[in-house]
């Protein structure tokens, strides 16, 4: 039981919180670019700095869900991980400075969809964490 609590509290929760923050930052940079508060080079470099760490962390979280036996979470995170792998293989994972305005709306919609997904994942993680804590505390009383 302690390993489940460890997984949800120290692995899944910080990962999902980080994904949510990174995606929100990327949406914010694209919104600033759209409003012409930042130049395309700065926006692209700031977003591209976090793309590969996010992809690696998403793959790591998916693998940890698989190896720890959290099958539902594994199946939920697998499509996003596969999509990230597909983007990396096709070399479309980074934002190109010269094409950023042409792809701005699509990139923004993609990141807003990822933001909604990561928010859902964070809510599921908090719910599972609370369920595990209640079960763990109830088990100690008996």
Cα 78 to Cα 94: distance, rounded to the nearest angstrom:
21
Name 86's Cβ contacts closer than 8 Å, sequence gap at least 6.
Answer: none
Question: Long-range pairs for 58-67 at CB < 8 Å and ≥24 separation?
Answer: 58/19, 58/84, 59/84, 59/85, 60/15, 61/11, 61/12, 61/15, 61/16, 64/7, 64/11, 65/12
Model confidence band, residue 60 (pLDDT cutoffs 50, 70, 90):
very high
Range of the domain at 87: 2-141
> What is the reported pLDDT for 53?
95
pLDDT over threshold 80, residue 2: no
Model confidence band, residue 4 (pLDDT cutoffs 50, 70, 90):
confident
Strands (E), 1-142: none
Question: Which three-class secondary structure state does DSSP give residue 31?
Answer: helix
Any idea which of 3-7, 80-84, 106-110 has the lowest mean pLDDT? 3-7
> What is the reported pLDDT for 132?
87
Are the C-beta atoms of 114 and 80 separated by less than 8 Å? yes
The first and second tokens of residue 4, run together, are: 């489940």
Tally of domains in the chain: 1
For range 6-19, the mean pLDDT: 90
Select from 3, 18, 14, 16 the least CA-distant residue to 120: 16
Say if pTM beats, i.e. exceeds, 0.85.
yes
């Amino acid at each position: 039981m302690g390993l489940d609590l460890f997984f949800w509290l120290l692995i899944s929760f910080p990962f999902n919180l980080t994904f949510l923050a990174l995606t929100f930052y990327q949406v914010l940079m694209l919104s600033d670019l759209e409003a012409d508060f930042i130049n395309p080079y700065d926006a692209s470099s700031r977003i591209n700095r976090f793309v590969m760490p996010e992809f690696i962390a998403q793959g790591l979280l998916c693998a940890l869900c698989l190896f720890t036996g959290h099958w539902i979470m594994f199946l939920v995170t697998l499509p996003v991980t596969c999509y990230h792998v597909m983007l990396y293989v096709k070399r479309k994972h980074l934002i190109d400075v010269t094409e950023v305005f042409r792809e701005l709306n699509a990139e923004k919609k993609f990141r807003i969809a990822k933001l909604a997904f990561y928010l859902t994942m964070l809510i599921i993680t908090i719910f599972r964490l609370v369920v595990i804590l209640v079960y763990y505390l109830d088990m100690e009383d008996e």
